Structure 1
Amino acid sequence: MKALTIRQPWAGSIAHQSKRVENRSWKLPVKHEGARILIHAGAQLDRDAQVYGPHLGVYGAVVAVATVTGCHWSEDGTCCGPWGFERAYHWTLTDVTALPEPIPASGRLGIWTPAPALIAAVEQQLAVATAI
């Protein structure tokens, strides 16, 4: 399983709101299409964002798991509702599952490989969340 670091408030909006597109300046590598990824809330805030909520106070932690189902370029951003940016690649996300508790972790640029202990901690929370 891979991970993607996303600045707040966007990571929280994926985990706890209806954001199902991640805007990127680079195209999703084909080998990751259809993969489950960890959504990691980065250590920095996107100061240009205008999204608010109590779930946005988490930084430097895995907050959710999602499936990346595709990627397309958008010139005007209108194809993906209010979350799509113009002149960006839109990575589409499905099967988003917020973790009951954020798991602290250091992130990285790009798609990265989490430590086995982090993956195990995420899988443990997912097992508890689906058992409820």
Structure 2
Amino acid sequence: MRAISVQQPWAFAIARGGKDVSNQPLPTAYRGPVLVYASLRVDLGACDSPLVLAAGWDPGDPLATIGAVIAVAAIEDVCSGAVLDGSCDCGPWADAEAHHWRLAGVTPLPRPVVALGKVGLWEPSATLVTEVRTMLASTAAGTG
């Protein structure tokens, strides 16, 4: 499993608002599960974005935090069409000058898991992965 760092409020939009694209400066060959980490940096200009507001942005929501894992998803594909030749139909969340890491199966966590992250796609510690998996399992079992 890997983790991906995303600035708020975009991380919140992935966890709660149906954002199915993570705009990244580089493509990746990785496909599979990722922890969605809300980085310590915030895109303040995006907090009033119509897309973010339509996604239900709520600074009081626990998943609007920074410096924590807030969801689990899977990178299922990467579209580089917008960057390479302008041919892309990845939807309203896609930035025309970025590679679009398409996310599927997004599951928000019941509460954030505070952690130290890294920029981009990174390998989380085994302890962090175990904590997230345990939380999801206990939630599924109705004990979380």
Q: Same fold (TM over 0.5)?
A: yes
Percent sequence identity over matched residues? 36
Q: CA–CA distance in 2 between the matches of 1:10 and 1:110?
A: 14
The structure number with the bigger radius of gyration is: 2
Cα deviation, residue 57, structure 1: 3.0
Confirm whether residue 127 of structure 1 aligns to residue 137 of structure 2: yes
| Map of 1:5 onto structure 2 | 5
Which TM-score applies when normalising by structure 1?
Answer: 0.89
Per-residue Cα deviation, 1:85-108 (whole angstroms, up to 9, x for no partner): 102111100011000010001110
Kindly tell me: are residues 20 and 77 of structure 1, through their superposed partners in 2, closer, same or farther at Cα, counting changes over 3 Å?
farther
Tell me, in whole angstroms, the C-alpha distance in 1 between the residues paired with 2:14 and 2:89: 17
Q: Which ranges in structure 2 are unaligned for 5 or more consecutive residues?
A: none
> Structure 1: 5+ residue runs without aligned partners?
none
Separation (CA, whole Å) in 2 of partners of 1:114 and 1:77? 33
**Distance in 2 (alpha carbons) for counterparts of 1:130 and 1:20:** 23
Matched residues in 1 for 2:43 and 2:81: separation? Answer: 21
Partner amino acid, structure 2, of 1:57: A
Q: Counting strand residues as a fraction of each chain, which structure ranks higher?
A: 1
2:39 to 42, 56, 68: 42
1:22 aligned partner = 22
State the superposition RMSD in angstroms: 1.7
Q: Deviations over 1:47-92 (max 9, x none)?
A: 3312242246310000000010000114258612210110211110
User: Counterpart amino acid of 1:15?
Assistant: A
Structure 2 match to 1:106: 116
